[in-house]
Amino acid sequence: MTPFSHPEFDNHEQLTFFCDPDTGLRAIVAIHNSNRGPALGGCRMYPYASDEAALRDVLRLSRGMTYKSALANLDLGGGKSVIIGDPRKDKSEALLESMGRCLESLNGRYIAAEDSGTSVPDLRIMGRQTRNVAGITDHPGFDGKPSNGDPSPATAYGVFTGLQAAVRHKLGRSDLEGLTVAIQGLGNVGFRLARHLKDAGARLWVYDIQPDNLARAVDELGATPVTADEILGLPVDVVAPCALGAVFNDDSIRNLHAKVIAGAANNQLAEPHHDEMLRQRGILYAPDYAINAGGIIDIFYERHGGGPQAVRQHLDTIAHTLTEIFLRADREDLPTGHIADRLAEERFKLRNS
């Protein structure tokens, strides 16, 4: 299979493969669309089961970043990069510097940020070799607290406000006291989301592949731990996927009991038709690239200027955008993902006309 015939290929502008035998680097950078500006998206490091799995991930994720930036009204395009390898075993300074040189060779068409398997210190190491990294500068955060560039707090806050909007729309509730939420994934974003929810009075059921993350949520937040097989099918109000994507498929959707899906994970639907399947089951889906745009909003202001108040005001628009999507979906009797796609496409396609 060639990239052009790949089912996830969506007229991507550029797809670049990098290999450095000296450091063990094997990476792919995908630039989906740059109509609104340079492509920005996270650099993910993950031990993919196959090269095809890595290609599929980077194609899907880069497309999602185009839609995310457009829906958030940012002057950015969409791109993504993946490094094939186990971040706990294969990561080294030499590998990260090699990745930095690869990014520099793209001449600013793609800007990398933190993602699953990479951190702010990792991006700073890449930054020794390139100017094309973001989210690495110390600055006041949207909440007034010092930030080292990590976009996770902004992402988690945006998901929290989006979850509130979804609960208001679907459940008619203006508060979260006693709300039951199942959170899949307790990394940088998932744990912060869990804390926001706990502080708002929600009751939490959680799962994470890392036992220490799970234990922390139990100890600090009083969450109830469950297994990987249980987390999506619990009888809760909200399911919040905050790990890897494609978790909602024919089987998992049939087993859902929640009325709302609102989480931070990218590409949560395994296939496009699952959007309609959720609608038919009466489950309100907060499109992932709409609800998890907080991180890229924070990074945009870091690069282009703007204080904490401006960032927070922009983050609060996530809830307004989602409410618009929900209302239009109701009026037109269409799935929410379809409506979100239409809104985003209007914004990034018109920019080039």
> Distance between CA atoms of 134 and 303, rounded to whole angstroms?
7
pLDDT band at 1 (very low <50, low <70, confident <90, very high): low
Q: Please report, for the domain that includes residue 92, its CATH number.
A: 3.40.50.10860
pLDDT tens for each residue of 29-56: 999 999 999 999 999 999 999 999 999 9
Residue 181 within a domain? yes
pLDDT greater than 60 at residue 133:
yes
Region 4-21: what's the mean pLDDT? 95
pLDDT greater than 70 at residue 273:
yes
Higher pLDDT, 131 or 266: 131
- Looking at the structure, do residues 184 and 263 belong to the same domain, yes or no? yes
What's the token pair of residue 130? 């390139």
* Global confidence as pTM: 0.89
pLDDT band at 353 (very low <50, low <70, confident <90, very high): very low
- Looking at the structure, do residues 57 and 150 belong to the same domain, yes or no? no
What total number of domains does the chain contain? 2
- Contact predicate 205/181, CB 8 Å: yes
pLDDT tens for each residue of 83-126: 999 999 999 999 999 999 999 999 999 999 988 899 999 999 99
Residue 2 pLDDT: 81
- Looking at the structure, do residues 171 and 308 belong to the same domain, yes or no? yes
Q: Which of 83, 114, 136 is the last residue of a domain?
A: 136
- Looking at the structure, do residues 320 and 285 belong to the same domain, yes or no? yes
- Looking at the structure, do residues 108 and 212 belong to the same domain, yes or no? no
DSSP-derived letter for residue 269 is B
- Looking at the structure, do residues 155 and 130 belong to the same domain, yes or no? no
> Distance between CA atoms of 307 and 38, rounded to whole angstroms?
22
Which range (37-41, 158-162, 303-307) has the least confidence?
303-307
- Looking at the structure, do residues 91 and 112 belong to the same domain, yes or no? yes
Residue 244 pLDDT: 82
Residue 227 pLDDT: 98
**Residue 94, number of CB atoms within 10 A of its CB:** 14
Choose, from 80, 91, 170, 198, the residue flagged as catalytic: 80
Q: Which domain holds residue 341?
A: 146-350
Residue 141 within a domain? no
80 is catalytic: yes
- Looking at the structure, do residues 208 and 335 belong to the same domain, yes or no? yes
What's the token pair of residue 336? 């929410």
Q: Which of 136, 157, 186 is the last residue of a domain?
A: 136
> Distance between CA atoms of 320 and 335, rounded to whole angstroms?
18
Across the chain, mean pLDDT equals: 95
- Looking at the structure, do residues 150 and 129 belong to the same domain, yes or no? no
pLDDT band at 272 (very low <50, low <70, confident <90, very high): very high
pLDDT greater than 60 at residue 333:
yes
